[in-house]
C-alpha cells in the first residue's frame, strides 16, 4: 500500500491552528488518530522542537507509521490505544500536560483501501469493520445477532437512514435463511429494499448503513464522548486542540464540548464573574471550517470534513 497517495485532510490548516502552541522547545503534541502517519509526520517536520505521542487502535497502522516516522527517532512515541485512553497513556509516559492535540476522526484511508477489512461498500469483502481486529464483535455478528429493534435504532441514530425499518426487515428475513458474511450481499439487499426515490439521492444507497455498522462495531461515538473532554483536560493553559470530523454526529459532539468549555457559566446578574464560572476555552474557528474546493478536487475523501479548533485559556477550578 503506497503512502504517497494518502493526502492528510486539511493538513496546512491543522498545522496553522496548532502552531502557536507548538513552537516552544519541549512542547508535546498528541495525534489521537495516527492512521498512516501523514499528520504526525507533518507535525514532526514543522515543529522541530516538539515531541509527538501518537495513538491508534489498529496494529497494522502502527506498524506502517512506525516505518514512516522512524527517521524522527526518540521524538515520536507510538502507542496501541483507543483515543479515550489518552489520560492513561499520558500518565504511563509521565507527561502531565500537553500543548497540542489533533483528532482526525473516521476511517483511515488504509482501512478503506484494504479490501479484506470490509469497510468499503464498493467491493466485496468479509463484513468485519473492526478498527482493532484483535477484539470485539464484527459487523457480520452485529447483523446476524442483534434484535430487529436494535438494528433499526443503530441505522437511524448512526446512519441517519430514513428507510431503516425496510432495510432491517429485509436483513432479518435474509439472515434467517443464511447468516451474513460478506459485504456484496448486504449492498445488494439494501439496493433491493429501498424505494426508487430513495436510490436517486446521494451516492451509494448502502453508504448510511455501512457508516452505522462501523460506528456501532467500534463504539465510535461513545469513545468520542469520553475522548474530547479528556483531551481538553490534558491541555496546558495556552494549549490548542484541532478536531476533524466527517459526519454530523461527530461534529455535533465536538461542537457541544467546545461550546460548553467556551461558555460563561455564571448565574445572571453577578457584577463580577468569579473565575470558576469564566470560560476555559477560546474557540479558534467560527463554526466548523470546510475544506477548499481545490482540496476536495485533489482528495475526494476531504469532501465531508469539518474542522473545529479551540485553545485552553485557564485551569479548571473545582
Closest-CA residue to 108 (of 157, 40, 51): 40
Residue showing cell 507527561: 95
Q: Is 39 annotated as a binding residue?
A: yes
Mapping DSSP to helix (H, G, I), strand (E, B) and coil, where does residue 31 land?
A: strand
Backbone dihedral region for residue 136 (phi beyond 0: left; psi -120 to 50: alpha; all else: beta):
left
100 is annotated as contributing to ligand binding: no
Residue 37 labeled ligand binder: yes
SS3 212: helix
Nearest to 157 by CA among 47, 247, 86, 92: 247
Please state the separation of Cα 186 from the chain's center in Å.
Answer: 25
In which order are the strands placed within the sheet that holds 281-283? 76-80, 51-56, 28-31, 98-104, 235-245, 306-312, 281-283
Q: Is 251 annotated as a binding residue?
A: no
Residue ranges of E strands in the chain? 28-31, 51-56, 76-80, 98-104, 235-245, 281-283, 306-312
Contact, 129 vs 213, CB < 8 A?
Answer: yes
| Residue 248 cell numbers, joined | 454530523
- 55 forms bridges with which residues in the sheet? 79
Assign 235 to helix, strand or coil.
Answer: strand
If DSSP codes are grouped into helix, strand and coil, which group holds residue 178? Answer: coil
* 158 known ligand binder: no
Residues annotated within a binding site for S-adenosyl-L-methionine: 37-39, 56, 83, 104, 111
Residues annotated within a binding site: 37-39, 56, 83, 104, 111
Amino acid at each position: 500500500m503506497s503512502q504517497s497517495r494518502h493526502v492528510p485532510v486539511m493538513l496546512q490548516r491543522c498545522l496553522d491552528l496548532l502552531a502557536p502552541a507548538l513552537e516552544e522547545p519541549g512542547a508535546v503534541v498528541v495525534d489521537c488518530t495516527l492512521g498512516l502517519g501523514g499528520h504526525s509526520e507533518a507535525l514532526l517536520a514543522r515543529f522541530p522542537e516538539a515531541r509527538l505521542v501518537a495513538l491508534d487502535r489498529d496494529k497494522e497502522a502502527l506498524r506502517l507509521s512506525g516505518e514512516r516516522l522512524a527517521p524522527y527517532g526518540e521524538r515520536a512515541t507510538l502507542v496501541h490505544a483507543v483515543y479515550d485512553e489518552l489520560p492513561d497513556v499520558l500518565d504511563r509516559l509521565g507527561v502531565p500536560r500537553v500543548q497540542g492535540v489533533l483528532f482526525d476522526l473516521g476511517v483511515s484511508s488504509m482501512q478503506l483501501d484494504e479490501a479484506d477489512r470490509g469497510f468499503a461498500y464498493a467491493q466485496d469483502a468479509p463484513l468485519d469493520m473492526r478498527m482493532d481486529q484483535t477484539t470485539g464483535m464484527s459487523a457480520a455478528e452485529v447483523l446476524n445477532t442483534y434484535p430487529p429493534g436494535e438494528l433499526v435504532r443503530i441505522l437511524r441514530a448512526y446512519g441517519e437512514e430514513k428507510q431503516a425499518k425496510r432495510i432491517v426487515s429485509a436483513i432479518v428475513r435474509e439472515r434467517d435463511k443464511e447468516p451474513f458474511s460478506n459485504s456484496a450481499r448486504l449492498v445488494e439487499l439494501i439496493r433491493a429494499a429501498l424505494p426508487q426515490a430513495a436510490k436517486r439521492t446521494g451516492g451509494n444507497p448502502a453508504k448510511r448503513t455501512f457508516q452505522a455498522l462501523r460506528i456501532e462495531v467500534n463504539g465510535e461515538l461513545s469513545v468520542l464522548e469520553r475522548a474530547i473532554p479528556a483531551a481538553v483536560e490534558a491541555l496546558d493553559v495556552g494549549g490548542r486542540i484541532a478536531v476533524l470530523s466527517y459526519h454530523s454526529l461527530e461534529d455535533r459532539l465536538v461542537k457541544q464540548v467546545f461550546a460548553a468549555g467556551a461558555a460563561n457559566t455564571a448565574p445572571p446578574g453577578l457584577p463580577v464573574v468569579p473565575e470558576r464560572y469564566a470560560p476555559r476555552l477560546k474557540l479558534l474557528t467560527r463554526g466548523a471550517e470546510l475544506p477548499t474546493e481545490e482540496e476536495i478536487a485533489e482528495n475526494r475523501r476531504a469532501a465531508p470534513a469539518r474542522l473545529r479548533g479551540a485553545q485552553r485559556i485557564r485551569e479548571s477550578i473545582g
